Structure 1
Amino acid sequence: MSRRVVTWASISIDGYTSGPGGPEQDTWLYEHATKKESAEYFEGVWRGADTAVLGRTNYEGFHAVWPGITRDPATDPRTRELGRWLDSVEKVVASRTLQEAPWENSRITRDLEGEVKRLIDEPGRDILVLNSASVIQALLAADLVDDVRFSVVPVILGGGLRLFPEGLPSSRWTLASSAALAHGAVSLHYRRA
């Protein structure tokens, strides 16, 4: 049985994964990610995966933050477990420009589609694409995604980086599950029909 490719992202009501000012100004995203309800829900997603695929921007951002969060004694146990998973999981970074991937268990690929096809055929659990819109878009275009999971956060950004831009090929999906989180976000899980 081949492994499943699962994408994960947080988006605004108007469909953006990052606002007009870029990641440095995405306080809405950080506020959502640090809510207890978000962490509880996301734990059910990442625990099923043993490979993470990221774009360069998310890889560098995660690496800059997570090792410190993981080692901070004030970090709550659930967040610390996520940090340990991020440290130990196999991380594949899709980049044309990155020259080195210093975070443990990381490697760079220049051939995203080819690498994901190889991963699918290897033994293991889910392959999780972590909040990297360009990687998600490329894998959707290559018809390599089995599950699309995302949280819709109650903000309108008015511009930025779209998760689903115009030009993606048509495809059909069925709703596998949905959850309303206490702070107003809605988490959705779709499976390829």
Structure 2
Amino acid sequence: MTEQTAGRRVVTNMSVSLDGHYAGRDPLDMSWVMPYAHTDVARDHLTSLWEPATTALLGRVNAEGFLGFWPTVVGMAGVDPRDKRFAQWLVDTDKVVLSSTLGESAPGEAPWERTTVVDKPTAEVVADLKATEGGDILVLSSASVIKALLAADQVDRLALTVFPLFLGAGPRLFDDGLPAGRWALVSQTAGEHGTLSVVYDRVR
């Protein structure tokens, strides 16, 4: 049976290539994602993840990318309503950013609203969050955070969007040496361009 989490779930979301990479040779080049990120499958997948969540957990690099871009979508004309709703959620929800440098001048402060900067081990931060009231804790495409949580076996729900291409090189999401365990398939949706969105729950 799947784990019945007493309290808050840790939900991680990541896009990967068919050969298992979350980035190519140049980690800053995400052009390979763009043809697939705007599909109905990808948008509906993300919507199903953020709607039950009340906290966004991000690493510093991803926070700068997400929080630099998505708030600008709120006021854009002609934007897909799903993108606009996600952007508004990201602005309004509580955000925790893991960083040892971002809050150096003023610990805990961040350049974004409703955001706390924390310089602590990822597993410890998540344990603290799970001890509080709220909905899901959603990790948005922050590979370093997700990898740390997988290594600590703290992921309750693993969401992946698989794009049908080989990158041939680059960092992988799943490292050798992860804790052995089983996962139960919650949903699978195939869509445009061969995009596949899957969600698994950790079986304890």
TM-score when normalising by structure 2: 0.89
2:148 alignment partner in structure 1: 138
Matches within 5 A, 1:14-33: 14-23=19-28, 25-33=29-37
The reply on whether 1:74 has 2:78 as its aligned counterpart is yes
Task: Measure how far apart 1:97 and its partner are.
Answer: 2.4
2:8 alignment partner in structure 1: 3
Q: 3-state SS of the aligned residue for 1:18?
A: coil
Q: 3-state SS of the aligned residue for 2:33?
A: helix
For residues 43-82 of structure 1, the C-alpha deviation after alignment (integer angstroms, 9 at most, x for no partner) is 1111110101111111001122112122212222221111
Q: How many residues are aligned here?
A: 192
Deviates more, 1:148-157 or 1:178-187: 178-187
Question: Which of 125, 145, 149 lines up with 1:115 in the alignment?
Answer: 125
Partner Cα distance (1:30, 1:49) in 2: 25
Q: Which runs of 5+ in 1 are unaligned?
A: none
2:39/2:192 contact within 8 Å kept: no
For residues 99-154 of structure 1, the C-alpha deviation after alignment (integer angstroms, 9 at most, x for no partner) is 35211111111122112111112111111111111101111111211111101111
2:40/2:191 contact within 8 Å kept: no
Moved over 4 A (4+): none
Question: Which of 155, 162, 168 lines up with 1:158 in the alignment?
Answer: 168
Q: Which runs of 5+ in 2 are unaligned?
A: 1-5, 104-108
1:192 alignment partner in structure 2: 202
TM-score when normalising by structure 1: 0.93
Distance 1:134 1:124, change over 3 A: same
Higher helix share: 1
1:59 alignment partner in structure 2: 63
Letter in 1 for 2:116: R
Partner Cα distance (1:97, 1:169) in 2: 30
Q: Sequence identity, in percent?
A: 43
1:137/1:168 contact within 8 Å kept: no
1:35 alignment partner in structure 2: 39
